[in-house]
């Protein structure tokens, strides 16, 4: 039996309802007419979608402006994800420790359908800082961590994604070998103005890419040579917790090398 692509099972009305929620997530409030323009749907269709979502508690209407915003049920779904996600639960103490030790904004980055998502983020407590990534998403090609994660995709998938040959596609192609070899990226304010972004791949069972840890630092105070070792250690630690054989082997080799050095020093 030939396995069909999941896209073949997509229900258009459900997809449109999710488009509405995603659009509302990026705005404080928005009206039916503006939603209709942005989603390229008829106003009647948008109104019916909003009415359905409102009845279920996923959106609510401002009675004064008659615009719509996300409802409390949307928050409940987000909280449920954080509670149920094994990755987020295991990443939490590792990222918090890294954020505390570095004093900078630290996030967990995931790649999904061409978007980079940040389900977990710790904002720097310093007066001048890069804002937390929580509840935001970016096109993966327009974000350093997103480019790093995109580069790890299988060749066939990557070739299709980079077929448009945009400047972003070219940047990923030019860095592809290094991004795959090192599993890391350092963007020196080229993608985000005045922000140094450093990300490192995290692996799980069967050494599959589970996501990436990202540190964001204001350009004026970034000391990359101090940040990278701590980030490497955190990524190694989380990969170990997630069951990566590669991380476990690396840790074992490091221990054996350290033991050998110590033994040699004693002999001398």
Convert the pLDDT of each residue in 162-220 to its tens digit: 999 899 999 999 999 999 999 999 999 999 899 999 999 999 988 999 999 999 999 99
pLDDT at 150 > cutoff 80: yes
**What percentage of the chain's residues is helix, strand, coil (to nearest 5)?**
55, 20, 25
- Average pLDDT score over residue span 90-105: 96
β-strand pairing of 209-218 with 105-112? antiparallel
Strands, E, within the chain: which ranges? 59-61, 68-70, 105-112, 115-122, 137-139, 184-188, 195-203, 209-218
> Mean pLDDT score of the chain, rounded to an integer?
88
Least confident window among 27-41, 68-82, 209-223:
68-82
Average pLDDT over residues 246-250: 51
Helix/strand/coil for 195? strand
Pair (103, 226) in one structural domain: yes
* pLDDT at residue number 257: 45
Say what the pTM is: 0.76
Please give the pLDDT value at position 2.
52
Going 167 to 195 to 152 to 141, the CA torsion angle's sign is negative
Given a cut of 90, whether residue 84 has pLDDT beyond it is: no
Residue 50 CA to residue 25 CA, distance in Å, equals 14
Residue 37, domain extent: 6-74
267 located within any domain: no
Q: Do residues 268 and 132 touch, judged by C-beta distance below 8 A?
A: no
CB 220 within 8 A of CB 195: no
Output the pLDDT for position 4.
62
Structural domain ending residue among the three candidates 29, 51, 74: 74
**76-97 as b/e, with b when 16 or more CB fall inside 10 Å?**
eeeeeeeeebebbebbeebbeb
Q: Are residues 145 and 55 in the same domain?
A: no
Per the structure, the count of domains in the chain is 2
The number of residues in the chain equals 268
- 216: domain CATH number is 3.30.450.40
Q: Tell me the C-alpha distance between 4 and 168, whole Å.
A: 31
Same domain? For 32 and 118 the reply is no
Q: Report the DSSP beta bridge partners of residue 207.
A: none
pLDDT bin (cut points 50, 70, 90) of residue 78 is confident
Residues 223 and 106 in one domain: yes
Q: Per the domain annotation, does 262 fall within a domain? A: no
Asked if the structure places residue 42 within a domain, the reply is: yes
Per-residue pLDDT reduced to its tens digit, 44-73: 999 999 999 999 999 999 999 999 999 999
Residue 263 forms part of a structural domain? no
Can you give the pLDDT at residue 19? Answer: 92
Is pLDDT of 42 > 80?
Answer: yes
Q: Do the bridges between strand 105-112 and strand 59-61 make them parallel or antiparallel, or are there none, so unpaired?
A: unpaired
Do 87 and 212 lie in one domain? The reply is yes
CA gap 44, 57 in Å, rounded:
20
User: Do 222 and 119 share a domain, yes or no?
Assistant: yes
Q: Do 17 and 63 contact (CB within 8 A), yes or no?
A: no
* Secondary element (H or E) of residue 79: helix 72-84
Higher pLDDT: 4 or 9? It is 9
Q: What integer pLDDT is reported at residue 265 of this predicted model?
A: 47
Q: Which two tokens stand for residue 187?
A: 């963007």
Query: What confidence score (pLDDT) does residue 29 get?
Result: 92
């Amino acid at each position: 039996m030939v396995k069909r692509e999941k896209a073949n099972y997509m229900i258009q009305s459900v997809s449109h309802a999710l488009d509405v929620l995603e659009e509302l997530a990026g705005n404080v409030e928005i009206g039916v007419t503006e939603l209709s323009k942005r989603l390229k749907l008829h106003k009647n269709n948008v109104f019916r979608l909003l009415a359905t979502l409102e009845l279920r508690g996923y959106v609510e209407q401002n009675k004064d402006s008659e615009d719509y915003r996300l409802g409390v049920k949307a928050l409940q779904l987000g909280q449920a994800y954080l509670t149920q996600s094994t990755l987020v639960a295991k990443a939490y103490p590792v990222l918090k420790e890294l954020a505390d030790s570095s004093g900078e904004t630290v996030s967990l980055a995931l790649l999904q359908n061409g978007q980079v998502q940040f389900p977990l983020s710790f904002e720097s407590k310093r007066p001048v800082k890069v804002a937390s990534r929580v509840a935001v998403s970016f096109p993966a090609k327009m974000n350093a961590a997103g480019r790093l994660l995109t580069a790890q995709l299988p060749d066939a998938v990557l070739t299709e994604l980079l077929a448009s040959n945009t400047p972003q596609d070219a940047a990923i192609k030019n860095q592809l070998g290094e991004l795959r070899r090192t599993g890391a990226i350092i963007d020196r304010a080229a993608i985000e103005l005045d922000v140094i972004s450093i990300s490192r791949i995290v692996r799980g069972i069967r050494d599959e890419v589970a996501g990436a840890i990202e540190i964001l630092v204001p350009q004026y105070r970034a000391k990359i040579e101090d940040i990278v070792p701590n980030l490497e250690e955190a990524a190694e630690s989380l990969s170990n917790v997630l069951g990566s054989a590669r991380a476990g082997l690396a840790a074992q080799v490091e221990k054996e090398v350290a033991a050998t050095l110590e033994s040699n020093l004693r002999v001398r």
